[in-house]
Amino acid sequence: MSTLTTSFSSNASLRGFLHGLPGVDKVGADARAAMLGTRSIKTTAKRQAIDLAISMVDLTTLEGADTPGKVRAMCAKAMHPDPTNPDVPRVAAVCVYPDLVAEAVQAVKGSGVKVASVATAFPSGRSSLEVKVTDTALAVAAGADEVDMVIDRGAFLAGDYLKVFEEIVAIKAACGDAHLKVILETGELATYDNVRRASWLAMLAGGDFIKTSTGKVQPAATLPVTLIMLEAVRDFLATHGRKVGVKPAGGIRTTKDAIKMLVLVNETTGDGWLDPDWFRLGASSVLNDLLMQRQKQDTGRYSGPDYFTLD
Amino acid sequence: MFEYAPAPESRDVVDIKPSYGLFVNGEFVDGSGTAFKTINPASEEKLAEIAAASAADVDLAVQAARKAFTTWSAMPGAERAKYLFRIARIIQERSRELAVLESLDNGKPIRESRDVDLPLVAAHFFYYAGWADKLEYAGYGTRPIGVAGQVIPWNFPLLMLAWKIAPALACGNTVVLKPAETTPLTALLFAEICQQADLPPGVVNIVTGAGETGAAVVNHPDVDKVAFTGSTEVGRLIARSVAGTGKKVTLELGGKAANIVYEDAALDQAVEGIVNGIFFNQGHVCCAGSRLLVQESIAAELLDSLKRRLGTLRLGDPLDKNTDIGAINSAAQLAKIRELSDAGEQEGAERWSPACAIPDRGFWFPPTVFTGVAQSHRIAREEIFGPVLSVLTFRTPGEAVEKANNTPFGLSAGVWTEKASLMLWTADRLRAGVVWSNTFNRFDPASPFGGYKESGYGREGGRHGLEAYLAGSAPRESR
């Protein structure tokens, strides 16, 4: 996997690279994201967007109170989001804590739904590299297809980019064949310049996906932050020849929110990322709203919330 | 492929009458000139028959304005403010109707008339309503001038009306306004709004027609103040005709603005700024960023990004909520854009447009970029007033400023850099009325607007915009 990674000899050289990236003007980025948010997606386009969004969902439960039963229920929902309608696509993945990976793997076996596990002392990332690698190895050993790691935001904000970089390289190595999503926790990075730098840092270190947030910090997946990350993967493909996926997570609650994300992808990176292999929505509550809107499109009527399962 | 389905805004919110008269002394009256039609430039369908005001009709309008001036100018500022606030609120309430009508008559995308034009129109009336009882603090005296004759262009029909009427009324003047002949409908709906607001008769008069009607307004001996927005060519005629008459004049004319992008700019936002600078409103913007000056070290990269971005622009039905580029306002304007673009090619510049389906009917021009443009080319010197960008490069900040200023115009400019000292250094040296820093085509009623050199004289907007409508200070030359 080392071929994926660009090597840097010192923190200074990595810092030089990251600070040499073009800046982000906040006012302009916010305005662009807001403008794309006004796109009006109706009728056939809306139907297409809803199904695409469902197929991109990483259905997630990351609570201290998670139990095997809760995970099994979520997996059932992931495979058949609307039990009354087999046309509804399955979601992309379920996302759980490492100790519940085995349960999830068992539950979704053969369905095509992937199992993702958070790792690396999620959500704060405040532990030793040794613990983070072990955490990752446990998840992978239990059968996780994907690992969602968190970066060390403290080290990043302190300017110790090489530490963050080397951790990602080490976790990537521990992932083996599992895909690595690197959570930037953009809500803690404070500036759009930092979001761009962290995106590049994660891509240079070998991340397969860059992900906005843990879902435990606000703000999470805002439109401008997702826009900046999409620009980063677009530019990284052009300059480094490797395609990296994007996963906004946290705060995507309605069909409208999800469709705005798809518009952002469509008009920033284009078609190439409109695929669950390259774009995911980290969310859980959005799924029922997508199902409700889908049914409204089919029948012309809204059903009450009790017609959609709570899992 | 994620194709957006058509998402048209409903036309049902507007009620276009088969024919319209002139608005004189608070009532709609017939015109004695030969009526003309206004069309939808996106389909060439006729929208309505419009009365043309003859010199005699204009005279009646000026008389009505003169009569109304006596009471309007004597009214306490706080009372005048009530009318302006009322008009502003009605504009907000009827904004959807006004936006649809503007897009129908002008061809601009509904997204722009809804999200840019109409909010600014209402904001302008609110802003100047606030000044009406505070004129003594503005520094230009409190005495109104009298009757203002105002002639406005077709690119922002209702917004230009607001720029003209709001400060004039706030200061206690009365007006006779002539909208452009291709876009009279929102001005006529505004006349209805004046009735709805119970504005005293004669305070606002709207006379429709072509150049002759405009000349009658400008040359009427009882007009005390002339305000014009439009081409430099017509501006010259007006300056000549009012010379020596004692009328106060403000002219807001053409432009050929430079949009300077330094190598350390925030590139993604600079690309957005370039697009917004020249493709906003089909480039029918006097302050459009029609000359892109890009530092050579990033020129190739920036142009690649720009071209990719232009590939996502959606040209078509102005009423579709997802349309970015609407129709060219008239056949005459389309011919002018074509003529200048062809000249660009003949003079050796390289022409590029994204793949873009052009509708069968109506007036359309694809977003166009010329590279390899020299300062001597016509497309670098003349105002095209269309979606055509001329790209030039520079090596040093000194060269950027020299090229930016090397134009007979001086309305606006844009500077893109993340370095504040370079931003200020550049802005200080640009001879342009407005310099945008890391943005373009942003407007606010509190900010004055106007030009250097052939871009005209006088300022509109902000506290400065009051000066043109108050008699307290002597007329000033171009600054």
Kindly determine whether residue B266 and residue A25, on different chains, have CB atoms separated by under 8 Å.
yes
Q: Identify whether B124 is part of a domain.
A: yes
Residues B240 and B275 in one domain: no
From chain B, the residues in CB contact with A29 under 8 A are 268-269
- Give CA separation, A266 vs A142, A208, A279, A290, B275, in Å: 36, 20, 11, 19, 18
Predicted local distance difference test score (pLDDT) of residue B476: 42
**B389 closest CA partner among B208, B256, B213:** B256
Query: Do residues B274 and B337 share a domain?
Result: yes
Q: Is B296 among the catalytic positions?
A: no
Do B273 and B218 fall within a single domain?
no
Determine, yes or no, domain membership for B6: no
- Given CA atoms B461, B463, B466, B468 in this order, what sign does their dihedral have? negative
Do B149 and B203 lie in a common domain? yes
Please, which residues bridge with residue B229 across strands? B252
Question: Which string of b and e fits A178-204 if b means at least 16 CB within 10 Å?
Answer: bbbbbbbbbbbbeebbbbbbbbbbbbb
Residue of A nearest to B416 (CA): A25
Chain A's closest residue to B9, CA to CA, is A40
- Inter-chain residue contact A23 with B7, CB threshold 8 Å: no
User: Which residues of chain B neighbour A32 with C-beta distances below 8 Å?
Assistant: 268-269, 272
How many Cβ contacts (< 8 angstroms) between chains A and B? 66
Amino acid at B277: G
pLDDT given at position A33: 98
- Quote the minimal CA–CA distance from A25 to chain B in Å: 6
Q: Is residue B380 part of a domain?
A: yes
Judge: A266–B272 Cβ closer than 8 Å, yes or no.
Answer: no
Answer yes or no: is B36 within a domain. yes
| Contact A43/B at CB under 8 A | yes
Q: What is the count of structural domains for chain B?
A: 2
Chain length of chain A = 311
Where in the sequence is the domain holding B367, given as residue range(s)?
Answer: 258-437
pLDDT of A6 over the 80 cut: no
What phi and psi values does residue B84 have, to the nearest 5 degrees?
-70, -40
By C-alpha distance, the chain B residue nearest A34 is B115
Q: Say yes or no: B218 and B267 in one domain.
A: no
Over residues A134-161, the pLDDT tens digits come to: 999 999 999 999 999 999 999 999 999 9
Alpha carbon of B263: minimum distance to chain A alpha carbons (Å): 9
Are B61 and B98 contacting, i.e. CB atoms less than 8 angstroms apart?
Answer: no
CATH (domain of B103): 3.40.605.10
pLDDT of residue B473: 52
Same domain? For B302 and B326 the reply is: yes
Other CB atoms within 10 A of residue A131 CB: 12
Whether residue B418 sits in one domain with residue B322? yes
Task: State yes or no: pLDDT of A2 exceeds 60.
Answer: no
Q: Cβ distance B193 to B94 under 8 Å?
A: yes
Our CA-based measurement puts residue A17 at a distance from the nearest CA of chain B, in whole angstroms, of: 14
- DSSP helix/strand/coil, B469: coil
Percentages (nearest 5) of helix, strand, coil residues in chain B: 40, 15, 40
Residues B28, B252, B366, A227, CA torsion sign? negative
Contact B322 A49 (CB under 8 A): no
Residue B475 resides in a domain: no
Residues of B at the A interface, defined by Cβ within 8 angstroms: 1-7, 111, 115, 264-269, 272-273, 312, 321-322, 418, 438-439
pLDDT for position B387: 98
Rg (CA), chain B: 22
What is the torsional sign of CA A106, A111, A112, A115? negative
What residues of chain A, 12 to 31, have a C-beta less than 8 Å from chain B?
A: 22-25, 27-29, 31
CA atoms in the 13 A half-sphere facing the CB of A271: 4
The tokens describing B388, both together, are 């055509």
Closest to B422 measured CA to CA, from B305, B295, B297, B276:
B295
Specify the length of chain B in residues.
479
pLDDT for residue B417: 98
Q: Which residues pair with B19 in a beta bridge?
A: B49
At residue A88, φ and ψ (nearest 5 deg) are -70, 125
List of residues 6+ apart from B301 with CB closer than 8 A = B267
The reply to whether residue A40 touches residue B321, judged by beta carbons under 8 angstroms, is yes
Taking CA–CA distances from A262, the nearest residue in chain B reads B2
Same domain, B237 and B325: no
Same domain, B271 and B241: no
Strands A57-60 and A93-96: parallel
**Quick one: closest CA in B to A19, which residue?**
B264
d(CA B115, CA A265): 23
Nearest CB among A23, A38, A274 relative to B115 is that of A38
Q: Which residues contact B45 (CB under 8 A, 6 or more apart)?
A: B39
Higher pLDDT, A200 or A3: A200
**ipTM value:** 0.95
For residue A113, the number of C-alpha atoms closer than 13 Å in the C-beta half-sphere is: 30
Residues B56 and B92 in one domain: yes
Using the predicted structure, report yes or no on whether residue A91 has a pLDDT greater than 70.
yes
On whether residue B269 sits in a domain, the answer given is yes
Structural domains of chain A sorted by starting position, each given as residue range(s) with its CATH number in brackets: 2-299 (3.20.20.70)
- B392 and B418 in a single domain? The answer is yes
**Tokens linked to B107:** 């061809």
CA distance A25 to A27: 6
Question: Residue A151 in contact with residue A182, Cβ under 8 Å?
Answer: yes
Option in A24, A31, A41 nearest B4 (CB): A41
The Cα B193–Cα B189 span in angstroms is 6
For position B406, which CATH number holds? 3.40.309.10
A267 contacts on B by Cβ (under 8 Å) = 312
CB B38 within 8 A of CB B183: yes
Amino acid occupying residue A204? L
Which secondary structure element, helix H or strand E, spans residue B166, and what is its range?
helix B157-170
Residues B420 and B275 in one domain: yes
Partners of B321 on chain A (C-beta within 8 Å) are 38-40
Taking residues A62-71, report their average pLDDT. 97
- Please confirm, yes or no, whether A243 is among the known catalytic residues: no
Tens place of pLDDT per residue across chain B (479 aa): 799 999 999 999 999 999 999 999 999 999 999 999 999 999 999 999 999 999 999 999 999 999 999 999 999 999 999 999 999 999 999 999 999 999 999 999 999 999 999 999 999 999 999 999 999 999 999 999 999 999 999 999 999 999 999 999 999 999 999 999 999 999 999 999 999 999 999 999 999 999 999 999 999 999 999 999 999 999 999 999 999 999 999 999 999 999 999 999 999 999 999 999 999 999 999 999 999 999 999 999 999 999 999 999 999 999 999 999 999 999 999 999 999 999 999 999 999 999 999 999 999 999 999 999 999 999 999 999 999 999 999 999 999 999 999 999 999 999 999 999 999 999 999 999 999 999 999 999 999 999 999 999 999 999 999 999 999 754 444 33
Calculate the CA B146 to chain-centre distance.
Answer: 24
Q: Which of B16, B11, B362, B9 is nearest to B186 (CA)?
A: B16
CA proximity to B83, closest of B133, B119, B143: B133
Q: What is the DSSP string of A78-107?
A: HH-SSTT-TTSPPPSEEEE-GGGHHHHHHH
* Count of CB atoms situated within 10 Å of the CB of B344: 23
- Full-prediction pTM beyond 0.80? yes
Asked whether residue B106 is assigned to any structural domain, the reply reads yes
B419 is a domain residue:
yes
